[in-house]
Amino acid sequence: MALIKKLHIRGFKSFAKPIDLEFGTGYNCVIGPNGAGKSNVSDSICFVLGKLSAKSMRAEKASNLIFNGGKKGKPMKDAEVSVIFDNGKKDFPLDASEVKLTRVVKQSGNSTYKINDEVRTREQMLELLAAAKIDPDGHNIIMQGDIIHFTDMKPEDRREVVEEIAGISVYEDRKAKALNELDKVEVKLNEASIILTERETYLRELKKERDQALKYRELETNVKSNKARQDRRRREEDCQSQ
């Protein structure tokens, strides 16, 4: 299991000033009075792991995740969260003892993702997280009300959750994606087959016309040759008669 060593937050929700939270290898607990930002810590982890739904992080839209300045402060232009994982057990397929994942969101709502301070796409980050069995929309993080919601689920829905936690759903998604790509390839192959059939028919017609043209040229050459031979014979006969 991948372990979080450190969490860096800047400009995210109520965290106007940069703050670093370090985690130990045992049980970690964040405590504080109401409104101190405890839930914002878990929201920041969801954010950096690539969760897209702003509402799931208790915000109307992505830009609302940026510190708005409060009553006296100045609004931030962007928000940045970095999470540093311990990669000593090689949970991530990278040759590094630590893996740093960063996400920056602008006022426009656009996000930038980084892996070890190098800009990457969200898809690349999700693939790296999946290798460590971490899903931003999965159940690595249990939010408020999730347990009650789980107990109220139908057996079929509960089984899907268990499969998702076990990592089976990831392979099912990959299978569905691969089958979808296969269907697209088959459609293109059928289109190519139709085009090839049309091209073969066209080539056969061209070959037929070519053969006819060659036959015509051969006959024309023979006609000219025979005509020339006939004219020469007539001239010889006229010379002999004289």
Query: Which distant-in-sequence residues (6+ apart) come within 8 Å of 28 by Cβ?
Result: none
98 and 188, same domain (yes or no): no
Q: Which residues pair with 114 in a beta bridge?
A: 102, 119
Residues 125 and 54 in one domain: yes
Tell me: do 238 and 178 sit in the same domain.
Answer: yes
17 with 73, same domain? yes
Q: Cβ(73)–Cβ(65) under 8 Å? A: no
Token pair, residue 70, equals 């409060």
Residue 15 exposure: Cα atoms within 13 Å on the Cβ side: 23
Residues 120 and 8 in one domain: yes
- CB within 8 A of 125, min separation 6: which ones? 50, 101, 113, 115
- Total count of domains within the chain: 2
Q: Which of 112, 134, 156 marks a domain boundary?
A: 134
How high is the mean pLDDT in each 10-residue block of the chain (242 residues)? 91 90 89 84 88 69 84 87 94 94 92 95 92 77 72 83 69 84 93 92 92 91 87 79 66
Alpha helices in 69-167 (DSSP H): 122-131, 146-151, 155-166
Q: Are 24 and 68 contained in the same domain?
A: yes
Whether residue 92 sits in one domain with residue 30: yes
Do 181 and 109 lie in one domain? The reply is no
Dump the DSSP string for 96-122: SSEEEEEEEEETTS-EEEEETTEEE-H
CA distance 93 to 88: 11
In terms of domains, do 130 and 172 share one?
A: no
What pLDDT, on a 0 to 100 scale, did the predictor assign at position 21?
93
- CATH number of residue 61's parent domain: 3.40.50.300
Spatial distance between the Cα atoms of 73 and 64, rounded to a whole number of angstroms: 15
* 123/74 same-domain check: yes
Nearest to 128 by CA among 140, 120, 139, 117: 120
195 and 127 within one domain:
no
Question: For residue 111, is it within any domain?
Answer: yes
Residue 148 included in any domain: no
Question: What's the domain range around 52?
Answer: 3-134
